């Protein structure tokens, strides 16, 4: 059984929320890749994560959306090394970073006023384009 993942002092992913499965890795590796299951498939039940506020939970669902399976579990895989235990640690670190990213509240965007010079330049450009297009039209009455 996998052990819990500590994200912060108050937020943790309990061991009961983790399901670890080892599968054969893809890619080069010679005969070893056909025999040894070094790729780690780590599944996390997001509802069981302890200490998350509702807003952080919502952010986590948005961040993890591409990695969710049909059951709503987070699926993280790792096959960066030829060692199963190091791949498991890498997958656990990916989960920890993802949950930590969900804890960070995004900065509120403060609407800023368009500078007067920028507005004047935009309008001058529009006037110039209008005169260029106007000069391309056929004169009226010269048939």
Show the tokens assigned to 109: 């965007």
State what percent of residues in the chain have pLDDT above 90.
Answer: 64
**Residue 39 β-bridge partners:** 23
Q: With beta carbons less than 8 A apart as the criterion, state whether 95 and 13 touch.
A: yes
What is the CATH class of 5-103?
A: alpha beta
Question: Which pair of structure tokens corresponds to residue 95?
Answer: 């989960």
Distance CA(134)–CA(70), nearest Å, equals 57
Q: What was the pLDDT predicted at 29?
A: 67
Query: Domains of the chain: which residue ranges?
Result: 5-103
Residue 104's contacts (CB-CB under 8 Å, 6 or more residues apart) are none
C-alpha to C-alpha distance for 1 and 16, rounded to whole angstroms: 8
Q: Closest Cα partner for 15 from 56, 55, 48?
A: 48
pLDDT in tens, the chain (143 residues): 578 888 888 898 999 999 999 888 877 767 777 778 888 999 999 989 999 999 999 999 999 999 999 998 999 999 888 888 999 999 999 999 999 999 999 999 999 999 999 999 999 999 999 999 999 988 777 65
The pair of structure tokens assigned to 58 is: 């919502």
């Amino acid at each position: 059984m996998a052990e819990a993942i500590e994200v912060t002092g108050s937020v943790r992913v309990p061991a009961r929320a983790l399901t670890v499965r080892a599968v054969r890795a893809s890619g080069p590796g010679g005969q070893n890749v056909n025999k040894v299951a070094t790729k780690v498939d780590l599944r996390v039940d997001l509802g069981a994560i302890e200490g998350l506020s509702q807003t952080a939970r919502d952010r986590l669902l948005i961040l993890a959306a591409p990695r969710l399976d049909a059951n709503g579990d987070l699926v993280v895989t790792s096959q960066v090394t030829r060692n199963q235990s190091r791949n498991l640690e890498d997958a656990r670190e990916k989960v920890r970073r993802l949950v930590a990213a969900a804890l960070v509240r995004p900065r509120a965007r403060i609407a800023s006023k368009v500078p007067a010079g920028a507005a004047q330049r935009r309008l001058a450009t529009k006037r110039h384009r209008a005169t260029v297009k106007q000069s391309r039209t056929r004169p009226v009455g010269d048939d």
